Homo-oligomer: A and B are copies of this chain.
Amino acid sequence: MNEHNMPVLGVDLGGTKILAAAVDPTGRVIARIKRKTRAERGPEAVITRLIETCRRVIRKAGLTWDEIGGVGLGAPGPLDPTHGIIYNTPNMPGWNQVPLGPRLAEALGVPVYLENDVNLGTLGEHALGAGRGTQDMVGIFVGTGVGGGVILDGKLRSGVRSAAGEIGHMVVLAEGPVCGCGKRGCLESVASRTAIVRDIRSGIAAGRESIIPQMTGGDPERLTSGVLARAWRQRDPLVREVMGRAQFYLGVGVASIVNLLDPEMIVFGGGVVEALGDEFLAQIRIVARQYFIQQRDADRVRIVTASLGDQAGVLGAAVLVWQRSHR
């Protein structure tokens, strides 16, 4: 961080909600607003809503646009960060090559920087959260999917096609379950909440005993990370078994990353990890370390929980503005 930095806006555009925050140069959130995305209304309506949300949060923070260094914007990929274009996003119908960055910049009169949302979560944790002070850090976010980001030599790694950090699509179980991406055996296909819910439902359908049907009234929509966490703490045998498998694959995935890059830190975030906390990480750590090819100094690779919660994305978006505008 630099004392000459200006306050900025960090915005996290998700399929269900928009989170926007005005952030001061020390990384403190001055004001924040959370709204529904209403993605079903299509891109034009969402863009209008985004512009409105940015203006509201500036007002709420008691700032004027002259005092703002820019807007950092996280969105689900695939996208082109260089030109600020969203290609399409599975959870937001109708988005196809939308120049979201330029559209917002024009409406707001400040520079707008677009980046993959999970990359920004990683950047946030690196600059202001659990990864503070590390040079090399990998973020893994376990929720509906498994996403992530890679920080090397203190910089967010983008890759030659801006496609780096797709940790959920590293293959850990070749020819395993079908993934949302259409391939098989990706980490996401065996360790996301989607995978966990799929396996719990199969278990219940096969007659396995579990408190889950009672907790959700049989409605799979109610099988949230919070419900999973409660059933896990109550030692529901089906939930423990299925989540134990997810922990095993996450451990193996961590080891693959460590054997390739040997970073200082792996930070785990996302809905599932937030709901379960460090308890969930214990088994991941054990498996990962077993699979480290270099056993020496295994504990120098720290495996920790994220510390910024749902603000990782907006804070990372703020950091993005400071980094890009100082180039």
Residues of A within 8 A of B (CB): 77-78, 87, 136, 150, 152-153, 157-167, 169-174, 176, 181, 183, 185, 248-249, 252-253, 255-264, 290-294, 296-297, 300-301
Contacts and interface: CB of A to CB of B under 8 A. Distances in A.
A161 B262 contact: yes
23 contacts: A78-B294, A78-B296, A87-B296, A150-B261, A160-B262, A160-B264, A160-B300, A161-B301, A163-B293, A163-B294, A166-B260, A166-B293, A166-B294, A169-B255, A169-B293, A171-B172, A171-B252, A171-B255, A171-B256, A171-B291, A172-B174, A174-B252, A183-B290
Contacts of A164: 260-262
Contacts of A260: 150, 164-167, 170, 257, 260
Contacts of A161: 262, 294, 296-297, 300-301
Contacts of A259: 163, 166-167, 169-170
Report copies per complex.
Answer: 2
A261 B157 contact: yes
Contacts of A166: 259-260, 293-294
Dominant SS at the A interface?
Answer: loop
Contacts of A256: 169-171, 256
Contacts of A263: 159-160
Contact of A160 (B158, B170, B248, B301): B301
A154 to B, nearest CB: 11
Contacts of A170: 170, 256, 259-260
A183 B181 CA distance: 28
Contact of A174 (B157, B173, B257, B264): B173
A262 B162 contact: yes
Closest 9 CB pairs of A and B: A159-B262, A163-B294, A170-B256, A169-B293, A164-B262, A166-B259, A163-B262, A169-B259, A166-B293
A171 to B, nearest CB: 5
Contacts of A150: 260-261
